[in-house]
Homo-oligomer: A and B are copies of this chain.
Amino acid sequence: MKQLKQQMKREQGSMMGKTRLEAFSDGVLAIIITIMVLELKVPHDAGAAALLGLWPVFLSYVLSFVYVGIYWNNHHHMLHTVQHVSGAMLWANLHLLFWLSLIPFVTGWMGENHFAPLPTALYGVVLLMAAIAYFILQLIIIRAHGSESELKQALGRDWKGKISPVLYALAIGLAFVSQWLAGLIYAIVALMWLVPDRRIEKTLTNAH
CA distance A201 to B24 in the complex (A): 19
Which residues of chain A in 87-127 are interfacial with respect to chain B, using CB atoms and an 8 Å cutoff? 87-88, 90-91, 94, 97-98, 101-102, 104-105, 108-109, 112-113, 116-119, 122
Bound form: Cα–Cα A16–B24 in Å: 15
Q: Identify whether the interface residues of A are mostly helix, strand, loop, or mixed.
A: helix
| Sampled A-B contacts (22; CB under 8 Å) | A4-B4, A11-B12, A13-B80, A13-B208, A17-B76, A19-B19, A23-B26, A27-B27, A27-B31, A32-B34, A37-B105, A38-B104, A40-B102, A42-B105, A42-B109, A44-B113, A51-B122, A65-B94, A69-B91, A73-B87, A86-B201, A91-B194
Give bound CA distance, A20 to B105, whole Å.
26
Q: Is A10 engaged at the interface, CB distance under 8 Å to the other chain?
A: yes
Copies of this chain present: 4
Q: Are B119 and A46 in contact (CB under 8 A)?
A: yes
**A65–B201 touching, CB < 8 Å:** no
Tell me, in angstroms, the Cα distance from A64 to B87 when the chains sit together. Answer: 20
> Using Cβ atoms and an 8 Å threshold, which residues of chain B touch A46?
109, 113, 116-119
